Amino acid sequence: MKIIQKIILSLFVIALCAKCTSVKKEKPNVLFIAVDDLNTMLGVLDKFSNTKTPNLDRLAARGVMFSDAHCQAPLCGPSRASIMTGLRPSTTGIYGMIDDNKIRSENPATKEIIMLPEYFKNNGYHTMGIGKLFHDHAPNGVFEESAGRVKGFGPYPEERIVWDGFGTSDRTKYGRTSTDWGAFPEADSLMPDHQSVNWAMERLDTEYNKPFFMGVGFLRVHVPLYVPQKWFDLHPLDSIKTLPYRADDLNDVPNIALQINDLPMMPTTDWAIESGEWPKILQAYLACISFVDYEIGRLIEALDKSEYADNTVIVLWSDHGYRLGEKGTFAKHALWNAATKTPLLFAGPNLPKGKIIDQPAELLSIYPTLLDLCELPAYERNEGKSLLTTMIEKQEDASVAITTFGMNNHTVKSKDFRYIQYEDGTQEFYDHREDPNEFINQAQNLAYQNEIEKLKKYLPKTNVKWDRNSSYTFQPYFVEQKARTSGSDRKPVHVIGAPN
């Protein structure tokens, strides 16, 4: 009997072990971090004027940072729509701002698209989000648990600290943007981003019966450049170095580039130099970066203390870069490097630690890369390529990044060069080996014609008309462009003081 009992027990143990080994491996969670208007002035990448980003630097040390990543549109709305749909602006016609709930409403390219958070929900994830993730927050129903976002980019003082739109040629036409800079409010707890992290921390302390996808969208570093005084104190004015600038920089660019760069509602670099405000604007931007770095640190610390610490994929990105005096102004809104270049970072189980990849990458790759990292089926509609192989195995020097701003205006960034082609066929070309600041347009230089032809082959073949629900109301050029190319008799409305 004892022998029979031992045999039965052994068979039970074997069966139990077989059952255990057959259990499907638990999918990793996803922490999806979006930072508004953050350029690459990070300690791990730039070290500009002693940039202080200890938490982002530590996060980069445990993952992979792409140092030459680029947005698909240098404007919040179309960039985020591209990331979340997995489609290029030239495919969707979403070249300007768009209501989150209208991304799919009348657009044949996006009508049946599965958006990034939805794809995770459809594959067994609990999805939740707070803050600025799409242009506003998110379309209705995209997140199972949604905390929305605070309207605008406040808090705001009773009166503006510095910039009130002066210097514009016609205030009644262009109104006032959110652009301003200075120390405000008194405490971090009054900032919406701080409250968003509190919300996320509560959920990281909650037990879930399935993997989660959590999106946290930060409002800073978007203007106004307001954060409490202590963040300014980290960046004394005498430590701030201004950026390379040439007053004649735009003399060799096509007229259409000047039209696109027509931003009378924004401070010009010449004004900032004459007024002495340039170092103060840079100080405020760096202060905002340090504030966001602190809040991201709080978020990562909460993750590390949670039960999800060892099984969570982290992706951190910004929707585009931000010009801080380059090419004559303080804004995104351009196809030059300072406007398109953005941080992109992945960290998580089985990824290399402390790896920096210098080849070009696209934010369009976030969607397919996350699916790969979470071992989910590929989504055939994605136009971006997964970066997983690049992160783990090798670098592909032939890769490029494509950015679009309005219909038929594109730039292609390779490792060494930037090529721009506008809707009228005019061009710009820059050799980053010799001219990283893009001061000298080499488009007419015969020595570069072979390189230009190589990059032209990457220009999008599809360039659909403007989505009738998408527009941009600040730049006269884009108002006129949509009226010409929307395929609709309905002209875009110029909204005075619309948020940028």
What are the per-10-residue average pLDDT scores of the chain (500 residues)? 46 41 69 98 93 98 98 97 98 96 94 98 98 96 96 93 66 67 98 98 97 98 98 96 94 96 91 96 98 98 98 98 96 97 97 96 98 98 97 82 97 98 97 98 98 98 95 80 65 34
Nearest of 302, 119, 85, 129 to residue 217 by alpha carbon: 129
Q: Are 387 and 346 in contact (CB under 8 A)?
A: yes
Strand order in the sheet with 312-318: 145-146, 126-131, 212-218, 29-35, 312-318, 341-347, 63-70, 355-362
Q: How far apart are CA 476 and CA 282, in angstroms?
A: 27
Question: 71, 76, 288, 374: which is the annotated catalytic residue?
Answer: 76
HSE at residue 141, side-chain half, CA atoms within 13 A, is 4
Looking at the chain, how many residues does it have? 500
Q: Strand, coil or helix: what is 37?
A: coil
Q: Interior CA angle at 415 toward 410 and 417, to 5°?
A: 55
In the residue annotation, 17 being an active-site residue is answered as: no
Q: How far apart are CA 313 and CA 149, in angstroms?
A: 23
Question: 135, 320, 333, 410: which is the annotated catalytic residue?
Answer: 135
In the residue annotation, 135 being an active-site residue is answered as: yes
Q: Which domains does the chain have, with CATH numbers?
A: 31-485 (3.40.720.10)
- pLDDT score for 73: 98
Which residues contact residue 364 at a Cβ distance below 8 angstroms, ignoring those fewer than 6 apart? Answer: 72, 82, 83, 86, 88, 382, 383, 384
Q: Alpha helix locations (H) across 396-491?
A: 449-456, 476-485
Q: Are 311 and 29 in contact (CB under 8 A)?
A: yes
Q: 225-227 and 323-324 as β-strands: parallel, antiparallel, unpaired?
A: unpaired
Q: Are 316 and 38 in contact (CB under 8 A)?
A: no
Q: How far apart are CA 25 and CA 313, in angstroms?
A: 15
